[in-house]
Structure formats: structure tokens, C-alpha cells
Structure 1
Amino acid sequence: MPIGIGLLGLGTVGAGVAEILLSPQGRHPLVADLELRQVAVRDLNRPRPIPLSNSLLTTDPAAVVANPDVDLVVEVMGGLEPARSLILAAIEAGKAVVTANKAVIARHGAEIAAAAAEKGVYVLMEAAVGGGIPILEPLKQSLGANRIERVSGIINGTTNYILTRMSEEGASYGDVLADAQALGYAEADPAADVEGGDAADKIAILTGLAFGGLVDREAIPTEGINTLQTRDIDYAKELGFVVKLLAIAERHGSDPDGSEVVDVRVHPTLVPKEHPLAGVNGVNNAIVVEGEPVGRVMFYGPGAGAGPTASAVVADILNIAAIRQVGAGGSQDALDPLLAASSWRNCRLVDQGSTCHRNYVRFQAADRPGVIGHIGSCFGSAGVSLQSIVQFETEGSGAEIVVVTHAVEESLFQQALSAILQRPEVEDVRCCLRTL
């Protein structure tokens, strides 16, 4: 029996989904059982890359949700509202939902999951993280028996493209961003990508699945690449690193009440050249999952674009279609328990002052005897062990001193920086990055 699909949005991803549904030849046999019944668009007269009958189109997304011929709602319109309300309306109507909307899931996942559990319907979201890379289902299923210790990765293709070109060509951030916008890799307003918000949405979702509990998306420490200078990328290269925007979630212990304490963050990071993430370039994404007993596994591939994202969306549709085919339907007993809010643990974000990591820091200082000794002495007094301390030549009379530390508690590192800046010859901290 055909499954009626209602599509909310016909942009880049929506058009990709429609194209798959309308051309089932050579694909999984279940694709032929999926029937596109109605599509919500903003403008009925806009030229479209795929032929669709006008009878399928509407400018009212609520009508798609309410359409009795629609069994499953696919939300690819983006944004928080009306996407959130439409997803909840579909659930209330007893319809399964597939979404690629990481912003909605990161902020309203608990509300949506609770509503789905009450109604006994599926809400699947593989396309929300990693584009065409299968990561959410593996975390829920293939790796479900593991004690996950850390999830880290490159989960924003725009910033990875920019950093790759800055590293390989020595190009400036502004020039590469303009090229990325011209190529369609970056939006006209690139803030969500370059300031780290997109990656923070995605790591919030991954955190919930990896550690079994939600974290406050707005509380995730987030730093983008928009203030990064080419010279730090060049210095990092000389020291044996590449710079990547990483999203990281790792276990940090537990509270007496059993709540998981997790360290979740997004920031530019110096990655050793021998690390598997160091070779992930261009618009590609990669996610490393570390757990017991599996060890370390990496998921790699295209992280965005019409094809990869539409592939993940239709894969979720097929999962639901397969369940219907074997007779499970949308009953409460068939509901994936890992999407049920009642099954999640309590999770909280760690106090950042107690986190422990390696650091890269670049000082602007006067080129005078004793400055390097002063910097080393202050770090030593705070209990900070150094991997390297190097002075780089500058065009002026000053000096740039770059320090890479061994792992140290953040509070001690900040204590050392404060002491270093007490000496007038050390003018400023020009850059401070974390290091894997």
C-alpha cells in the first residue's frame, strides 16, 4: 500500500528529496511505495528544477500536515518557527515525521520526543547531523551497547572549506568566505556557520544520543572561525598541526545522583597532523566516536548539499516504511525508545574551569631579554607544563611568542595568563586556541 508523503519545503534539500521520490528506478524497492501527495512552497510561481504538478503545490504548510492523504510529514523548511509547531501538529495528528532541522531538534528535542512518545509515532532526524553521513542511527543502534566516552568531529562543511583553503593557500579569511558564498557553500549571512552555531546545534543532538540525556543548547561554549587569523594557521602548521573547527562532547564523570556530567564545546582546534581528523578537507565532514569496548571509529563523507542530505532524509522515510510493511505501524510498542524523553538520563554541562586540555597561545611582546623566561616561569608556577615555546619573527620591533602547553586544568591556565600579563613587556594575548 502506498505511503503518502507531505513535503514541507522545496529548497535545495526538499528538491533533492522530491527528485528521489519521483525517480524510484534502480533504488530500494520500497521507494516505489512512497507517493508524494502534497508539497508546501513559499511561491507557487517560482521556477523549479524538477517538474511538479501545480495540484501538488500549496503555500499553506498546515494544509499539508492536515491532509488526510499524507501519512508521513517531511520537514525541510528550516528555522525554528513555524517548523516546530508544524512538527508538533503532525505528531498530534498521529503522523510520523522526518526532519533535517538541527536547530529545532537541538532546542526543542525534549518537547518533540515527549509528544512522539505520547502519540506513539516516529520522529527521525538522520539528516540533521552530518548530511549524508550515517551517524545518528549508528549511535542509537550499532554502537548502542557501548559506553561512549567521546564524540568529536568536523560537522560544518562551510568552515572546513574555509580553513582548508586558508591552510593550503595562505588566503585570508575574508577572501575565502567570499568564494564560499559565490560557490553556494556559505549563505549570504554566514553567521550560523562561521560563528559556530550550526556545529553547536549538531553536537547538542549527538550529545543526547551518545550520553542518553539532553543538554542546554544555549549553554554550550561556542567559538567560531570568524576571528581566526591566517598567521595562527601558519604557525600551527610549522608546529605540526592543522586548525579545524571541532565540535566535542565527552564524558566528564557523574554526580552523586547519577546524572552524567559532560563537556560539550565548539571551537577552532589545533589537530596533530597524524590524527585522522587532520586529513578531512574541503566541505567534507567526519565524526569520531570513542567508546568501550568498540574503541575508536570514524564516520566520513559529504556533510551538506542536496544529494547527501536528501539521501539521509529518504533513508529515514524508508526506515518508517519498512516498519509499516512488517506490520508494526506506528504503535507505542514499536516506538524507538531512544527517542522517548522518559528514557533519557539527567545530563549537565561541566564547569569549564575544571576542564583539562592542551592549549596554543600567541603573545605579542617586546623583543627584550627575559620575556620568554618570564612566560615560562609563570606557567611553571601555575603548574602548567609546556610542550614548546617558540619566538617568531615579526615585521616590527616586537616579538610574537607562541606556546603550546600539555594538558592542564583551565583554571590554572587562566591563572598563568593573568600572571604573564602583569609584566609590561608582554603586551597582549593575540590568540588562544585549544589543542587535541
Structure 2
Amino acid sequence: MIKIAILGLGTVGTGVVKVVEANTVPIQHKLGQPLSVKTALVRKLRADPYQHLMTENFREIEHDGEIRVVVETIGGVEAAYEYTRRCLMAGKHVVTANKQLVAEHGCELLELARKNHVNYLFEASVGGGIPVLHPLTQCMAANRVDEIYGILNGTTNFILTKMVKEGASFAEVLKLAQEKGYAEADPTADVEGIDAGRKICILADLAFGHQVDPAQVPMEGITGIDLKDVEIAGRHGYRIKLLGRCLRLEGGRRTAYVAPHLISEENPMSDVNDVFNAVVVRGNATGEVMFYGKGAGELPTASACVADVIECLQEERHRPEIGWSADTGGFASPLTLKNRWYFRVGTDTLSEALHSAKVLEQGTETAFITPSITGTDAERLAAYLPTLAKMRVLD
């Protein structure tokens, strides 16, 4: 019997227990022996179906020689960081879904894992149950990855989908998302693009081999999107999606950002709706490869965690292809990128600004799409015009 422990018994932690219990036969077939959860660290003991697993004492897990893998589902960076370090130093593999911890401290924790001949795996930190990190580092290893972009947050995608399909306002749909449990009481990390930003940092780290500091990455959410822009986009064959995007630039530089984009209805990404996520990886040999599925939720995320547990136990070696340099140099502002831009402005006297632009609608307000210009030029144009909305167009 192989025994593991869980740090935190919330939604994902409970999901891990459920997946292990529900899939005993296929898991045993892969490992050659049964897998069980021995201990779960909680802040406070409580009445619960899994109360028999609970402990408030981390040292019980840290010093238990039977526990070979620890699944960290606490979230945040304070306790999770300390406990992860101590587990790795104790010679235990660690698996996590904690995108903030990986984005901010992943390089350091991977190096600590290497020194202690164990693994630190985090497939569930990006895309929930969608397998994307493993294919990126192994299945696409023969490629130079030049770009990754995707819908990386289910909450914002649910809100935008409802705005499109039902004509509801952002505030109305946010309230519905909270009622359904898709959005937290404080939804800031989701709706301001912070959650997606952490995920695109992890993807960029792995794709480009250098640390991308989340503090350098511009993160714009969906709070400024007006129903008018959703309607205008729809009438002209576009959908609005919140995308995380990272690109390899000339001279070894790289960039990343999160922002709303207009996407043509001809792009498969435009049909990714509700709480689903999708990630597109563009390699120089494969072209674009798309990964699609449920990007969050108890069981999809837990499934990715347990898959990492199985890999740790099957391999029992450090995976050398998982890691990146701590060097944060070479990061360029995404304002240097060229895109077409969507603008909605509050006047129809725009002859100079509309030169070479594609006018979508004109009246007391005018909506148009510029030719390909840099983000810096878009900022200058926005300062010159009475701008009500602006966002990139994904070409």
C-alpha cells in the first residue's frame, strides 16, 4: 500500500480523496499496488466524512516515513511555501494546484526538489484537468515554442459567455457566478486577470526557459467591458475573450500579458464557452496545437493532481525537463507588440484617427478597428481620443 498526504482539505483536497477512492482499480493497475490517503492537514478539526484523515500537526506528515508524496492544496504563498519546502527537504515528492506559489517561487522549489532527488509537479496549476504542461515539456519537446495563448480562467469566461448569449450586464452575471460557486465572494483575482496572469507566467517559464516575474506582466481583466462592446463585436463576427498570452521575440527576448481580445468567430477559441478553458501552443514544427477542457472544479483539478502523484511514484526520479532559469532579464513590454486594436469612442468627428481604420459602426459613438499598430501607439491614440473602450484584436 502506497500512502500519500494532503495539505488542505478544501474543494481540491477533498477532490483528491474522492478520485483516489473512486479509481482504485486503474490506479493500482498503473502502480502495481493500492494507493491511499493517510493524512490530511487542516487548520481546525471538524465534523466531516474524512475526519478520520485529519490532523492539525504538520510534523506528523513531515516526519512520517510511510508518506512518499504530499499534495499541496492550501493555496496562497505563506504556509504553502513553508510546508512545500519542508516536505521537499524531507525527501517527499510534492504535487500542487497552487498557481500563485508556482508562478512566484516555482524556480526555487524545483531546484530544491532536484537537490533532494524528488519531484515538484504542478500540472493542475494551469488549466485544471486539461493536460497541457506535460505535453508542452515532453510531447512538444522537438519544437521551439514561439507563442502560447488561451482562455485560462473559467469564471471570466462564464461571465463573458452569459453577456454574449443573454445580453446580461457584467454586474448581473458576476452575481450569478457567485451564486453558482464559480466566483469567490471577493472575485478580484479572477475578474482583474490576476489568476490568468499567474498561469501564463508558468506557461512562459516552461516554454521559454526563463523566469517570468508576475510583477512585470500587465494583467487587465474584464471589469471594464461594456455590454455595448459585446453587442458590437457580435454584430461584426467577433467574440470577446479574456486571453493570457506569451510570445518569444527577436534576440531571445520574451513577453507576456493578460487582456480582453476580440476574436473572430472563425477561430475555434471563440467557441470556448462557460467555465471551459482552452490553450493554444504554437511550435515551429507543429504549428498551432489546442488543448481544451474544464479548467477548474473539484474533480478535474483533483484528477490532474492524482496523475502527478502517479507519475512521481512510477518514475521515482527527478524530471530534468521540468524547470527554468531564475534569470528574469530579457522581458519586454507587450506594448512593443503589433496588433490591430478595437476602439469605441464618443464622437463621430474622427477623420484623422479613422484614416486606414475599419469602421464597424458610426453615430453618436464610433467603433472601429485600427490597422496593425504597437501597443504604445494604441495608448497614444487612446489619449488623443475620447475613448470609451479599447482592446486588442487577435489575428
The TM-score with structure 2 as length reference comes to: 0.95
Relative to structure 1, is the Cα distance of residues 42 and 282 closer, same or farther in structure 2, using a 3 angstrom cutoff? same
State the partner residue of 2:17.
18
The CA deviation string for residues 231-282 of structure 1, in whole angstroms up to 9 with x for no partner, is 111111112110000000111112xxxxx31120101110111001000000
CA displacement at 1:338 relative to structure 2:
2.4
State the partner residue of 1:434.
392
> Out of 94, 99, 102, which is 1:97 matched to?
94
CA displacement at 1:26 relative to structure 2:
4.1
State the partner residue of 1:375.
353
Q: Does 1:358 align with 2:334?
A: no
In 2, are the aligned partners of 1:204 and 1:217 still within 8 Å (CA)?
yes
Aligned counterparts, 1:207-246, within 5 A: 207-246=204-243
Aligned counterparts, 1:17-56, within 5 A: 17-28=16-27, 29-30=29-30, 32-46=33-47, 48=48, 51-52=49-50, 54=52, 56=53
Relative to structure 1, is the Cα distance of residues 340 and 240 closer, same or farther in structure 2, using a 3 angstrom cutoff? closer
CA displacement at 1:62 relative to structure 2:
4.1
Q: Does 1:265 align with 2:223?
A: no
- Aligned-partner Cα distance in 2 for 1:157–1:24: 26
The residue matched to 1:248 in structure 2 has which SS?
Answer: strand
- Aligned-partner Cα distance in 2 for 1:235–1:120: 55
- Aligned-partner Cα distance in 2 for 1:263–1:225: 21
Relative to structure 1, is the Cα distance of residues 295 and 340 closer, same or farther in structure 2, using a 3 angstrom cutoff? closer
Relative to structure 1, is the Cα distance of residues 165 and 204 closer, same or farther in structure 2, using a 3 angstrom cutoff? same
Relative to structure 1, is the Cα distance of residues 3 and 174 closer, same or farther in structure 2, using a 3 angstrom cutoff? same
The residue type equivalent to 2:195 in the other structure is D
Aligned counterparts, 1:1-400, within 5 A: 2-28=1-27, 29-30=29-30, 32-46=33-47, 48=48, 51-52=49-50, 54=52, 56-254=53-251, 260-323=252-315, 329=316, 334-341=317-324, 348-365=330-347, 371-376=349-354, 380=355, 385-392=356-363, 399-400=364-365
The residue matched to 2:350 in structure 1 has which SS?
Answer: helix
In 2, are the aligned partners of 1:114 and 1:341 still within 8 Å (CA)?
no
The residue matched to 2:304 in structure 1 has which SS?
Answer: helix
The residue matched to 1:339 in structure 2 has which SS?
Answer: coil
Relative to structure 1, is the Cα distance of residues 417 and 52 closer, same or farther in structure 2, using a 3 angstrom cutoff? closer
The residue matched to 2:205 in structure 1 has which SS?
Answer: helix
In 1, are the aligned partners of 2:236 and 2:360 still within 8 Å (CA)?
no
- Aligned-partner Cα distance in 1 for 2:357–2:133: 38
Larger Rg over CA atoms = 1
- Aligned-partner Cα distance in 1 for 2:92–2:25: 28
The residue type equivalent to 2:371 in the other structure is H
The residue type equivalent to 2:388 in the other structure is R
- Between the two proteins, the alignment pairs up a number of residues equal to 392
In 2, are the aligned partners of 1:212 and 1:345 still within 8 Å (CA)?
no
Relative to structure 1, is the Cα distance of residues 192 and 346 closer, same or farther in structure 2, using a 3 angstrom cutoff? closer
The residue matched to 2:40 in structure 1 has which SS?
Answer: strand
The CA deviation string for residues 332-359 of structure 1, in whole angstroms up to 9 with x for no partner, is xx321123445x7765321334221110
- Aligned-partner Cα distance in 1 for 2:231–2:351: 24
Q: Does 1:409 align with 2:380?
A: no
State the partner residue of 1:257.
none
The CA deviation string for residues 158-197 of structure 1, in whole angstroms up to 9 with x for no partner, is 0000000001110011111111111111111111100100
Relative to structure 1, is the Cα distance of residues 347 and 279 closer, same or farther in structure 2, using a 3 angstrom cutoff? farther
The residue matched to 1:335 in structure 2 has which SS?
Answer: coil
The CA deviation string for residues 388-427 of structure 1, in whole angstroms up to 9 with x for no partner, is 35314xxxxxx11111012112233333444x44xxxxxx
The residue type equivalent to 2:17 in the other structure is A
In 2, are the aligned partners of 1:132 and 1:301 still within 8 Å (CA)?
yes
- Aligned-partner Cα distance in 1 for 2:379–2:50: 59
The CA deviation string for residues 80-100 of structure 1, in whole angstroms up to 9 with x for no partner, is 110011111111111110001
In 2, are the aligned partners of 1:97 and 1:124 still within 8 Å (CA)?
yes
The residue type equivalent to 1:386 in the other structure is A
The residue matched to 1:244 in structure 2 has which SS?
Answer: strand
The CA deviation string for residues 138-176 of structure 1, in whole angstroms up to 9 with x for no partner, is 001001110111100001000000000001110011111
In 1, are the aligned partners of 2:39 and 2:54 still within 8 Å (CA)?
yes
CA displacement at 1:228 relative to structure 2:
1.3
The residue matched to 2:365 in structure 1 has which SS?
Answer: strand
The residue type equivalent to 1:302 in the other structure is K
CA displacement at 1:304 relative to structure 2:
0.5
- Structure 2 residues not aligned, in runs of 5+: none
CA displacement at 1:78 relative to structure 2:
0.8
- Aligned-partner Cα distance in 1 for 2:37–2:60: 14
The residue type equivalent to 2:43 in the other structure is R
The residue type equivalent to 1:266 in the other structure is V
The residue matched to 1:27 in structure 2 has which SS?
Answer: helix
The residue type equivalent to 1:12 in the other structure is T
Identity among equivalent positions (%) equals 39
The residue type equivalent to 1:37 in the other structure is K
